[in-house]
Amino acid sequence: MTKQRRSFSTEIKREAADLVLKQNYSFIEASSSLGVGESALRRWVDQLQQERTGITPQSKALTPEQQKIQELEARIARLEREKSILKNLPRS
């Protein structure tokens, strides 16, 4: 029997990381009380600390500011692809 991988919302991840960062829970206490793996919690804490220093993550952002940056970067990439397509169309 294989274990099904759970997914958590960005809000849950951010709140879990804040237990460690703001409320001084240990990783073991926070992970056991939330029912998540300690390694996952450590990743969330590391990611949140990096985002708060302005580093945009490769994975889905946890902070609203970094989420907006990722949305805007995706929009820029889409517009650049559209521009490239339009440039290659034959002119009449």
Q: What is the number of H-type helices and E-type strands within the chain?
A: 4, 0
Is the pLDDT at 1 greater than 70? The verdict is no
Task: Please compute the mean of the pLDDT values over residues 51-66 and round it to a whole number.
Answer: 92
Indicate the fold that domain 10-87 takes in CATH: Arc Repressor Mutant, subunit A (1.10.10)
Task: Please compute the mean of the pLDDT values over residues 49-65 and round it to a whole number.
Answer: 92
Domain range summary for the chain, segments of one domain joined by +: 10-87
Task: Please compute the mean of the pLDDT values over residues 12-35 and round it to a whole number.
Answer: 94
pLDDT at 56: 87
**pLDDT band for position 90 (50/70/90)?**
confident
**Cβ atoms of residues 24 and 76 within 8 Å:** no
How many whole angstroms separate alpha carbon 55 and alpha carbon 68?
13
Determine what percent of the chain is predicted with pLDDT higher than 70: 98
